[in-house]
Structure 1
Amino acid sequence: MGKLTVLSIRAALKTPGRYGDGDGLYLLVRGPGQASWMARLQHQGKQRDFGLGSVKTVELAEARELCRQYRRELRAGRDPLVLTRPVKGMTSTFKDAATEFINGRFSGAALSAAKARLETYILPKIGRYQIQSIDAEMIAECIRPVWTAKPETGRRLRDLIIRTIRHGRPDGPLLEATLAKAVSDRLPRQPSKANYLALPYSEVPALVKRLEAKGGIGALALRAVILTAARSGEVRGANWDEVDLDAAVWTVPAERMKMRRPHRVPLSAEAVAIFRAAEAHRRVGTDLIFPSPGGKVLSDMTLTKVLRDLEVAATTHGFRSSFRTWAAEQTSVSGEIAEAALAHAVPNAVEAAYKRTDFFDRRAELMAAWGRFTTGGGGKVVPIRQGDAA
């Protein structure tokens, strides 16, 4: 724990001097309004000082992270000053390149989600480095903390970094494939989807009632995840122009889908009620249906915390498994329809070419039954329509 606090920094700014936070981090105050951060670290047996920026632009938490990051680079035999120094003909930092990339590639909720990932996980660690200096080891260290704890987030972070490099470096397209493999080789194996804890479907209705009683935007979003059988990120990033509540359909754009294809989600009456309840949480400046208090995309941890608070031994992703098992054991629809409801890819490319339909009407019947079941209204057995048999 560092010695400095926000209050002690405010007091220190009145008196010139050097104020230590611990672990080599110092606040240098030269006069009124003139203060900056410095990291004093050992390198090859010598003491070196590294400027980390003005206190006006670099907050305490960021300064601590930069100090730790510089120490890691030195231990790895890399010079932080070289990594942050512009390369001849290349003047973009990773932050500049990433900002340009996401603003040109994404829009709406997808842009908000990309910004949130950058600001939360990536920029504090590698944002100030020149994009030309980013290598596989640095990428791996950046995403290691979430790689196994939140596999989907880890993969999205890796892909965002590598796509930024592809966009921002002349040799980016040539590096893309080898860089992705080199990063993966430096990281532990991620848990398989089978390791996502799923709540037995028989216990889902009771949980939905508890979530309704709990209230709050996190519980509301989690109810939407359960009722739609959608992925957490698809629900958290959903915005109002994607839904037609009168028609009871939610169209997730391709850019927000794992398979990069648009997906129409039929909304049961119970799911529509959840989306209408979300209207009370509308915030100025955002179109998100389930916004955080700050108007940004809810983090996956928000939904995880709801489950932890209720002492539920399951993951958010696991509710898709709960739905799939229920569909197999309690309805008469084919596996093909159930898989389509989950927006899973058809494994055989030739078979996929013949399946031009998204089975919307049949999925609507299935989701209506799921909605009734999860809210205590029954929903056991969806009749087989011609062509539904597996």
Structure 2
Amino acid sequence: MPLKLTETFVQRVKPDSRARTYGDGRGGHGLTLHVQTNGAKWWYQRLRIHGQPANVGLGGYPLVTLPEARHAALRNAQVAQDGGDPRPRKRPVPSVADTLAAVIERDAPTWRHPDRTAKNWRNVLRRHASDVLALRVDEVTSADCIAVLAPLWNTKRETGRKTKRRLAAIFNLAIAEGHRTDNPIDQASAALPNRRGDQQRIRRQAALPYHQVADALSVVAGTNAWLGTKLAFRFLVLTAARSGEVRGATWAEVDTDAALWTIPAARMKAGDEHRVPLSTAALAALSEAQAIAGDNGLLFPSARGKPMSDVTLSKLLRENHVPAVPHGFRSSFRDWAAEQTAFPRAVMEAALAHKVADEVEAAYFRSDLLEKRSELMQQWADYLSSD
């Protein structure tokens, strides 16, 4: 790094496997850039106040630019030299629970389902991090975070990941508000079991060879799982849809007479409405699903009549030793379509709701190829039932 910070360095410096700090060199009045492992950048100043060393938060980058941070550091140094205290009057330090509420209030307008997501955030942290929630946000140590995450890391991978990410968001806000200068999750991460090999194994087993998909359907159908869960999995495979699209599907989106499921743009990854032709097998799954229809209009509600959790289908497969993840069945479908049919690539990609990568091609390619896709999805259903 340069002897003194530069605009280019501050803008381009990349996160590392652990948090890093970069000082502004001689004459910088203790100005320091803190770069977290998630890429967030914060300014603080090291100086002596009334003879005692202290860190003074100056805000986050790029909201506070390098020139602005230097100006604030110079002003603070002058105040401290004159015997004053440049730190703002201390506000009461909030608890972790209070800061969680502030994070939810800040982020909820950006969430697709604010009430449901907020409830999930609270429930996960109350269940697994209740001791931390009760602490002041400046009291939490990396050891506290390890105590929360370590029991989840190998046994409940998805829950552990969510808990870690949500705690990190809480402490990032605490840093921004001047209650902390570090995020204890950064240090805790280094002490958690290394899951790299586990992740590589999951990637290798994420999708089944297409000739094993019918067996997976049979395995799941023979379990004692909730009917809605089994039907959601079957529908997901038959439509080659994403898990979130299936779990959030409603009867209002389905036209059984036209054998068509229209997913609104707000629920699609690409932000465009997507029409899904329904094979006879997919329509049969919907016919069975009418027996569990509730007041909320969901095709596949949970056993308690609520939206299905995002880990329900993954858990179903894992507990029944199906070496795949829900999203992997889209890959199985794509491999089958490429190797066992003569449909053009464009039809296969449209079936997966993939955007055309080439902008020129996309400008001229306006059709969603519904008729061709209807034939393709029926052939997929026929293939899965042919054994």
Q: TM-score range, shorter-chain basis?
A: 0.5 to 0.7
Q: Write the distance in 1 (CA, Å) between the matches of 2:149 and 2:358.
A: 32
- Pairing partner for 1:339 from 330, 344, 349: 349
- Preserved contact between residue 232 and residue 246 of structure 2 (Cα < 8 Å): yes
Aligned length, in residue pairs: 284
Distance 1:258 1:183 in 2: 33
Give the drift of 1:299: 3.1
* Counterparts of 2:156 and 2:369, CA distance in 1: 31
Match of 1:238 among 242, 249, 256: 249
1:201 aligns with 2:210: yes
The answer to whether residue 233 in structure 2 is matched with residue 222 in structure 1 is: yes
Alignment of 1:191 onto 2:218? no
Alignment check: 8 A CA contact 2:263 2:274 kept: yes
2:375 to 351, 354, 365: 365
Hey, what does 1:249 align to over in structure 2?
260
Distance 1:152 1:254 in 2: 27
- Given candidates 275, 279, 290, the residue that maps to 2:286 is 275
CA distance in 2, matches of 1:97, 1:130: 14
Once the 2 structures are TM-superposed, how far is the Cα of residue 356 of structure 1 from its aligned partner? 4.8
Paired residue for 1:61?
A: none
2:103 is equivalent to residue 93 of structure 1: no
Greater shift after overlay, 256-265 or 121-130?
A: 121-130
1:1-390 aligned at under 5 Å gives the runs 87-88=91-92, 93-97=98-102, 99-100=104-105, 104-106=109-111, 112=116, 115-116=119-120, 118-120=122-124, 124-125=128-129, 191=199, 194-214=203-223, 216-284=227-295, 286-308=296-318, 310-347=320-357, 355-376=365-386
5+ residue gaps, structure 2, are 1-89
Identity score, percent: 37
- Structure 1 contact 113–237 (Cα < 8 Å) conserved: no
What CA RMSD, in Å, does the superposition of the two structures yield over aligned residues? 4.7
CA distance in 2, matches of 1:96, 1:236: 27
Gap change, CA 1:121 and 1:268, over 3 Å in 2:
farther
Task: State the AA in 1 paired with 2:255.
Answer: D
Note if contact 1:232-1:317 (Cα within 8 Å) is conserved in structure 2.
yes
**Native 8 Å contact 1:291 1:298 kept in 2:** yes
Deviation (angstroms), 1:227:
0.9
Structure 1: 4+ residue segments shifted above 6 A = 89-92, 129-166, 181-185
Q: Distance in 1 between matches of 2:290 and 2:247?
A: 14
Q: 1:120 to 1:204 in 2, by over 3 A?
A: same
Cα distance, 1:220 vs structure 2: 1.3
AA at the equivalent of 1:237: G
Asked if the contact 2:124–2:163 (Cα under 8 Å) also holds between the matched residues in 1, the reply is no
Return the alpha-carbon distance in structure 2 between the equivalents of residues 337 and 266 of structure 1. Answer: 12
Classify 1:137/1:294 alpha carbon distance in 2 versus 1 (closer, same or farther; 3 Å).
Answer: farther
Aligned position for 1:51? none
Cα pair distance change 1:121/1:210, threshold 3 Å: same
2:275 alignment partner AA: R
Q: 1:368 and 1:105 mapped to 2: Cα distance?
A: 38
Deviations, residues 340-362 of structure 1 (Å, cap 9, x unaligned): 32234555566656655444333
CA distance in 1: counterparts of 2:365 and 2:164, whole angstroms: 32
Q: Take 1:297 and 1:358, find their aligned partners in 2: how far apart are those partners?
A: 29
Give the conservation status (yes or no) of the 8 Å contact 2:93–2:136: no
User: Per-residue CA shift, 1:294-333, capped at 9, x if unaligned?
Assistant: 2223235433443355443333232222111111111112
Shift of the 209–282 alpha-carbon distance from structure 1 to 2, 3 Å rule, reads same
Distance 2:141 2:362 in 1: 38
Instruction: State the structure with more CA Rg.
Output: 2
Cα 1:182/1:217, change in 2 over 3 Å: same
Whole-angstrom distance in 2 between the partners of 1:307 and 1:371: 20
Counterpart contact for 2:152–2:160, Cα < 8 Å: yes
Distance in 2, matches of 1:357 and 1:155, equals 40
Contact 1:234 1:256 in 2 (8 A): yes
Contact 1:121 1:143 in 2 (8 A): no
Q: CA deviation at 1:279?
A: 1.8
Deviations 1:132-187 (A, max 9, x none): 99999999987787788888877777777788899x88959xxxxx99x9699868
Provide, for residues 108-149 of structure 1, a one-character-per-residue CA deviation record: whole Å limited to 9, x for no partner: 6x7536633552357752666778999999999877877888
Contact (CA 8 Å) 1:87, 1:130: kept in 2 or not? no
